[in-house]
Amino acid sequence: MFSENKVGMSPDRLVNLVCNRLLNQPIEDRPSKITEPRKDGKPFNLNDYDIHKFNPQDRETQKRFYPYFKFRGIDLYTQYAFHRHFCLATKHRTDGLTFANLAFPLVLPKTPDKTVGFEERGASASEAVSLIEEARGSSTRLYTLGGGSNILVQDGLLNAGVISSAALDSLDIREDGGAVSVEAGAGVQVRKMLALALERGLGGLAFLTGIPGTIGGALYGNAGAAGESFAPLVEWIETVSHAGELRRWQRGDLSWQYRESPWREPPLLITKALFRLFYEQKDNIIKNIRHFAELKKGQPIGAKTAGCVFKNPPGEAAGRLLEQCGCKELSVGGARVSQRHANFIENHGCARAEDIYNLTRMCQKRVYEEFGIKLAYEIKFFGAF
């Protein structure tokens, strides 16, 4: 019935294409991507795990949970209240090794007594290595999630593993003469790092003002503002590669570029980093924080966005180019280019990932046709786009 329809095309994709044709908002055609479940991965089997449960009446069963809950700030009474919803799951691998994680059983509404999977949470880099090695053995694709503030995830089922750095949120502060070394886990919230700097009178971090997410994500994308970033502050970064290898990169090993990972071949996961900071008067820190806060005033703070969509081209501002091309007039489904800043796309309550992606492609196309500049994505994509 519709000329846009192709074999294997999802109904949502077809609706988007037809609506944009009727609205005279053409979208650059691209091949339909059909994501099918992997058939080479081993299905979940509860018998592959040894399960250790928390018993409120048995103190011995509770001791093994201590290292998992202590750093999360969850007290014993909370553990008592929710003990039916978590356990320790120990996986036995074919190479003879085992690893244990705090696990939350996943069930289906119609069969609440049947466990169909685990959400597993570790507490150290070594546990992340074990998970990565396990995923490689089953050919499972992996993504790393920090704060999720600059991520677009495909609609529907994401057939992949996601490693969250949330548990790697330790902070260790050491004084060394007139400087301070701060060792921060990748899961530490950026706002927590900025609050620490203000509390202790540490300079150099005011550029983090208004930047969401985690330290790991900020390092991975070299987040910054007004030409300032982590580059001069980092002493080393510890990472886990796609092959599951743990490595510590010294300052000289890192190559910092605008909004780019400091590695030629980026690792899968950042676990922690050491920053060398300096003391500064609190009045100066507050002044710098206010300066960077002023720079954020034109952004749609509080709106549902995934942050800046595109990187600034050399010598240009992506937001200015997008606005000059009339992109603020554009929308697809529930996705709309922000009226406050054209380099942000807002979800007005019903946007699908497909809507947002299509809108970014329309904006990209307009800028290229008008200025001959192809904007590069700053946001990261999980899944098929």
The model's pLDDT over 151-181, given as tens digits with 9 standing for 90+, comes to 999 998 888 888 888 878 888 888 877 789 9
- Verify whether residue 363 is a known catalytic residue: no
What is d(CA 108, CA 279) in angstroms, rounded to the nearest whole number?
Answer: 53
Residue 72 has pLDDT above 70, yes or no: no
- In this prediction, residue 33 carries a pLDDT of 42
Determine the average pLDDT of the residues in 253-266.
Answer: 89
For residue 172, CA distances in Å to 49, 93, 232, 272, 366 come to 34, 34, 19, 11, 48
Q: Cβ contacts of residue 1 below 8 Å, gap of 6+?
A: none
Give the amino acid at 65: F
Give the amino acid at 336: R
What is d(CA 235, CA 280) in angstroms, rounded to the nearest whole number?
Answer: 19
Catalytic residue chosen out of the listed positions 121, 191, 259, 340: 259
Catalytic residue chosen out of the listed positions 87, 120, 308, 354: 308
Q: In the chain, pLDDT over 70 holds for what percent of residues?
A: 84
- Verify whether residue 84 is a known catalytic residue: no
What is d(CA 114, CA 244) in angstroms, rounded to the nearest whole number?
Answer: 32
What is d(CA 116, CA 70) in angstroms, rounded to the nearest whole number?
Answer: 28
Q: Cβ contacts of residue 291 below 8 Å, gap of 6+?
A: 206
Bin 202: left if φ > 0, else alpha if -120 < ψ < 50, else beta.
Answer: beta
- In this prediction, residue 7 carries a pLDDT of 57
What is d(CA 319, CA 308) in angstroms, rounded to the nearest whole number?
Answer: 9
Q: Which of 116-125, 231-240, 333-342 shows the lowest mean pLDDT across its residues?
A: 116-125
Determine the average pLDDT of the residues in 252-260.
Answer: 90
- In this prediction, residue 163 carries a pLDDT of 85
Site of tokens 């120990």: 90
- Provide long-range contacts, Cβ within 8 A and 24+ apart, for 80-85: 80/56, 83/53, 83/54, 83/55, 83/56
Residue 34 has pLDDT above 50, yes or no: no
pLDDT category of residue 319 using cuts at 50, 70 and 90:
very high
- In this prediction, residue 89 carries a pLDDT of 87
- Verify whether residue 308 is a known catalytic residue: yes
Residue in 273, 159, 167, 170 with CA at minimum distance from that of residue 216: 273
pTM of the complete model: 0.67
- In this prediction, residue 380 carries a pLDDT of 93
